[in-house]
Amino acid sequence: MEGIHVGPQSDKRRFPEPRETTTPVTAISIHGVELPPHEPDVVMTLGSGGSSIVVPRNFRLLEELERGEKGIGDGTVSYGMDDGDDIYMRSWTGTIIGPLNTVHEGRIYQLKLFCDKDYPEKPPSVRFHSRINMNCVNHETGVVEAKKFGLLANWKREYTMEDILTQLKKEMAAPHNRKLVQPPEGTYF
């Protein structure tokens, strides 16, 4: 007999077999940000069993936005979106307060991060807006050169903008950068 029977034998109730239906998703809105349906998906692996789920790019960026707005660690690194109306969440601004006991101490550095449609599969482009003298930064444009900055050169999709900013701060304190003569504070590329 079809269906599911519940209750004692004398009180048989018949329920229809469950049917699976699907409705296509045309748009999703989270925290007032409408996500386009054609956004590239990102496969993220969860747990040691290798199970994976597909997470839309913008969900990942929303998670990063939330972390960036809360402040990171000791508060010397932060980031956020440039334009809250940018539904593709591409343009970001980062801030690093220079590490103690270096020529960068007390300086506030602003950076621009651009997450293309391939992020997080590929790293964002990173450019200092504030002038800085570091081995991994192009002295004319302020661009962080991937081949000279290990995190970008060896990018993995698990890395985040937070990782980039904290690693740049560590790079400022590295022996080869910590004492380099810096441009006047308040100058920009």
Tell me whether residue 26 is in a domain.
no
Tell me whether residue 6 is in a domain.
no
Whether 84 shows a pLDDT value over 50: the answer reads yes
Residues in the chain: 189
* Residue 139 belongs to domain spanning: 57-173
pLDDT at 46: 52
What's 39's DSSP letter? Answer: P
Rounded to whole angstroms, how far apart are CA atoms 157 and 35? 20
Tell me whether residue 51 is in a domain.
no
Tell me whether residue 117 is in a domain.
yes
pTM of the predicted structure, to 2 decimals: 0.73
Rounded to whole angstroms, how far apart are CA atoms 187 and 143? 15
Alpha helices in the chain (DSSP H): 57-70, 150-153, 161-173
Give residue 146's pLDDT band: very low, low, confident or very high (50, 70, 90): very high
Identity of the residue numbered 113: L
Tell me whether residue 27 is in a domain.
no
Whether 25 shows a pLDDT value over 50: the answer reads no
Read off the tokens for 45.
């692996």
pLDDT at 55: 72
Q: Which residues of 15-54 are buried (b: 16+ CB within 10 A; e: fewer)?
A: eeeeeeeeeeeeeeeeeebebeeebeebeeeeeeeeeeee
Tell me whether residue 45 is in a domain.
no
pLDDT at 56: 80
pLDDT at 42: 47
Q: Domain total for the chain? A: 1
Number of Cβ within 10 Å of residue 9's Cβ equals 6
CATH number of the domain to which 96 belongs: 3.10.110.10
Whether 179 shows a pLDDT value over 50: the answer reads yes
Please give the share of the chain, as a percent, with pLDDT higher than 90.
63
Give residue 32's pLDDT band: very low, low, confident or very high (50, 70, 90): low
Over residues 2-21, the mean pLDDT reads: 50
Tell me whether residue 169 is in a domain.
yes
Tell me whether residue 154 is in a domain.
yes
Residue partners of 185: CB distance under 8 A and separation at least 6: 107
DSSP-assigned beta bridge partners for residue 80: 93
